[in-house]
């Protein structure tokens, strides 16, 4: 058995390092990088432009974008892309 300070095995090392550099905790970065589909693109969601303003607003609400109630569709798209 290894030492308690050994880092656990990471399935997607590149993704792990990128997440840590973005400010994620090492624990959260490891969880994300160790998911079954780590590093794979989903590509199943419709583009923001194809969604209704209400759908965009609800997604912005889920992730906590402030000022969303005063945003128009283009502003919501911009906020979601740059969050």
> CB of 57 within 8 A of CB of 48?
no
Q: Which residue has the tokens 């892309």?
A: 81
- Model confidence over 49-59: pLDDT tens digits? 999 999 999 99
pLDDT band at residue 8 using 50, 70 and 90 as cut-offs: low
- Model confidence over 15-58: pLDDT tens digits? 889 889 989 888 888 888 888 766 566 666 678 999 999 999 99
CA 35 to chain centre: 13
């Amino acid at each position: 058995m290894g030492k308690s300070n050994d880092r656990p095995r990471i399935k997607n090392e590149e993704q792990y390092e990128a997440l840590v550099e973005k400010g994620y905790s090492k624990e959260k970065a490891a969880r994300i990088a160790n998911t079954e589909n780590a590093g794979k693109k989903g590509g199943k969601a419709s583009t923001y432009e194809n969604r209704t303003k209400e759908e965009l607003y609800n997604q912005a609400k889920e992730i906590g974008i402030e000022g969303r109630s005063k945003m128009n569709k283009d502003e919501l798209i911009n906020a979601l892309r740059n969050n």
